[in-house]
Structure 1
Amino acid sequence: MTNFLKDKLLMQDAILSRDFIEGIVATENTRTYLQRREPNHSQALLDAFTAHVPTFPDVVRANLYGVDRSVIWSSNPKLVGMRFADNHELEIALTGQIVVETGEIAIASGKPEHIGLASAAGPHSRQRFVEAYIPIRDESGKAVLAVIEIYKLPNALFEAIDSGLRLVWLAAAGGGILLYVTLFGIVWKAHTMMREQRERLIAAERLAAIGEMAATVAHAIRNPLASIRSTAEIGLEEDRAGTEASFNKIMRQIDRVDAWIRELLIGSIGSDEVREVVDIEAVIRECLDNLKAETDVQKIEVSFEPRQTPRLRGARVQLARAITNVLTNAVQAMPTGGRLVVESHATRDGNLEIVIEDSGHGMGPSLARRVFEPFMTTKPNGTGLGLALARRIIERHAGRIRLETSEGCGTRIILNLPQSP
């Protein structure tokens, strides 16, 4: 692009010089002299032409060549009558084409026809020059009568070229950077999406395994548990001395195992559960009431702030389980007390948003990235299914769940659900 721009501008300058020369040739009838070339014939015609050439802007040297390759006239009289061999540019110009070359005077001074050019250019010996070979044709425009060679030091033209080249390079660099950033963003986004899809696929496979396992475990364990609990209840009714505490302990442990089994069963539930209009505010209050015993024992201050909470259509039992799992996780993060804040409100786009925030110890980035993975837990007696199943339930309702946390600053979990999934 830079070479194209430079060549085009230099050629345009040469074409402009050609138009001036053709105008002078026509006005001064110079073709009559060039066609005859007889000694002392119409020398005034040549002098009239050559008197104009040095007045061209930025010209420091001009040579006029005949078709025999000899110098007819030159602004340096020492060159008149000389003939330069191996002048490739002159040979091309004699075929009727304009030839333009450029370079630095100090470097180009080695050519024979450049003798004395450096001194003619002045003290700036490394100035850039333009050398143009311009053919002069006959009136029919077919035959070449002579070639005029013009050396110019067009500083303003070179400044314009340099400015244009800078713009070309800046535009190319800017375009390259923009293209790189765009492609990098596309690749990074694709990489992120593929990673998320891979993680979700792994999670789905794990949850599918949970479902298969739950179907077997439920029938194998729940029935014996129900029988054991019934026996404990009968023992309590008989009011035997010293057995009440033992029976209560048995019932608590059975309820605990039963809760684990329910978690497994939730993982195996399909997408055809019954949908109904759900009052989420009432569901949240119910979930908080179920955890009241634990929050009281751990001295956790609970705050629920509903603000124009919209109702939505979904599976009430499953949504309650998801909210309970998140609340339970928050309560377990504050074993020595703290503050639990629950908010529910409508977003600007009409969705329902539930924010559950605890003042626990929070978690680092590496743990936060894995918190929704099945079987991922930091609790000695945890199953690692609570948040994973909560995420699955929310996503099954076309919603999103995200986590905001930092070590030592608590955790916020935001559930976003559309009103009509």
Structure 2
Amino acid sequence: MDDLIRKSDKLAVVAQLAAGVAHEIRNPLTTIKGFLQVFQKEEKYNSFYLNLVMEELERVESIIYEYLTLAKPNFENKFQKIDMVHLVNQLITLTEAQSNMNNVKLDFEYEQVPMIYGLEKQLKQVLINLIRNSIEAIAEKGVITVRIANHPHNQICIQVEDNGCGIPKERIERLGEPFYSTKEKGTGLGLMVCYKIIEHHNGVFNIYSKEGFGTKMEIILPTSVAMETNEALPQ
């Protein structure tokens, strides 16, 4: 009986994910189909509509990528030592163009912290996701502050804080659920992948927010010292 219940629960989760993916992909495909029908009828291309088609195709691509990452994350590589201050500096440079286009200032505050063990590509994916979420949360001119600081018990703390619109209290608890998002075209999968990556790094991911004031996303990770002394081990 227990086996049947477990199988039933797994099937329910699979069904939920499948239905969610189908729903999320169907929406942009419907838009694309509509624009293509307009092109066919008018026998000419409208550059504005064509750009919208490209945006919707990129959205489909993003949904598929996030779903595949969630279903089979690339955790096969061995953990390597990472200088998080150096890594975040790189990411600030990568995301500056988008922040400038949105009139958002990116600040970086940091202490000298020990190195950590981890997968660089996965941690980059998490932090880029968080920074871009913050950029999108700011309606007009705003500031995003990325901080790195030492944390008790041989850990480091990484924060991405914005002065955007904030998140209602009742929604915070649901963040990280599949297909639940505070964004109009969000899937919720990106944040779910972030949770999974941080969990794999034996870390903790917290979100603090106040509606109308902004959001602070916090990651706490064990340092290389903690890993080498077996205080924390990669899962």
Q: TM-score, normalised by structure 2?
A: 0.69
Change (3 A) 1:317 1:361: same
SS of corresponding position for 1:293: helix
Please, which runs of 5 or more residues in structure 2 have no aligned partner? 1-8, 26-44, 228-233
1:262 counterpart = 2:68: no
The corresponding residue for 1:273 is: 76
1:306 counterpart = 2:104: no
CA distance in 1, matches of 2:94, 2:51: 18
**Alignment partners' CA distance in 1, 2:85 and 2:54:** 31
For the 8 Å contact 1:362–1:411, the answer to whether it is kept is yes
Counterparts in 2 of 1:290 and 1:251: CA distance versus 1, 3 Å: farther
Instruction: Find the counterpart in structure 1 of residue 38 from structure 2.
Output: none
- The CA deviation at 1:269 is 2.5
After the TM superposition, which residues 228-307 of structure 1 pair with which residues of structure 2 at under 5 Å, given as runs?
254-270=57-73, 272-274=75-77, 275-307=79-111
> d(CA) in 2 for partners of 1:393 and 1:299?
30
Q: Give the corresponding residue for 1:74.
A: none
Greater relative contact order (Cα < 8 A, sep 6+):
2
* Corresponding position of 1:3: none
Percent identical among aligned pairs is: 27
Match of residue 131 from structure 1: none
| CA distance in 1 between partners of 2:16 and 2:204 (Å) | 20
Q: How does 1:279-358 map to 2 (within 5 A)?
A: 279-358=83-162
Q: Secondary structure at the match of 1:267?
A: helix
Name the aligned partner's letter for residue 222 of structure 2. P
Distance 2:14 2:101 in 1: 35
- Measure the CA separation in 2 of the matches of 1:367 and 1:281: 31
Matches for 1:6-17 after TM superposition, within 5 Å: none
In the alignment, what sits opposite 2:230?
none
Cα RMSD for the two superposed structures: 3.2
**Partner of residue 92, structure 1:** none
Shift of 1:248: 7.3
Deviation of 1:255 (Å): 4.3
> Aligned-pair distance for 1:290?
2.9
2:183 — aligned with what? 379
User: Residues 399 and 415 of structure 1 are in contact (CA less than 8 Å); yes or no, is this contact kept in structure 2?
Assistant: yes
Q: CA deviation at 1:368?
A: 1.2
- TM-score normalised by structure 1 residue count: 0.40
Tell me the distance in 2 between the aligned counterparts of 1:247 and 1:282: 39
Q: Where does 1:157-236 land on structure 2 (aligned, <5 Å)?
A: 205=13, 209=17
1:394 aligns with 2:230: no
Match for residue 31 of structure 2?
A: none
Offset at 1:318? 1.1
Q: Deviations over 1:18-50 (max 9, x none)?
A: xxxxxxxxxxxxxxxxxxxxxxxxxxxxxxxxx
Equivalent residue, structure 1, for 2:37:
none
Per the TM alignment, residue 345 of structure 1 is displaced from its structure 2 partner at its CA by 1.9
Partners of 1:330 and 1:340 within 8 A in 2:
yes
Residue 284 (structure 1) shift: 1.9
Q: 1:339 offset after TM fit, Å?
A: 0.7
User: What residue in structure 1 maps to residue 215 of structure 2?
Assistant: 411
- Aligned-pair distance for 1:406? 1.5
Which runs of no fewer than 5 residues in structure 1 stay unpaired? Answer: 1-200, 218-241
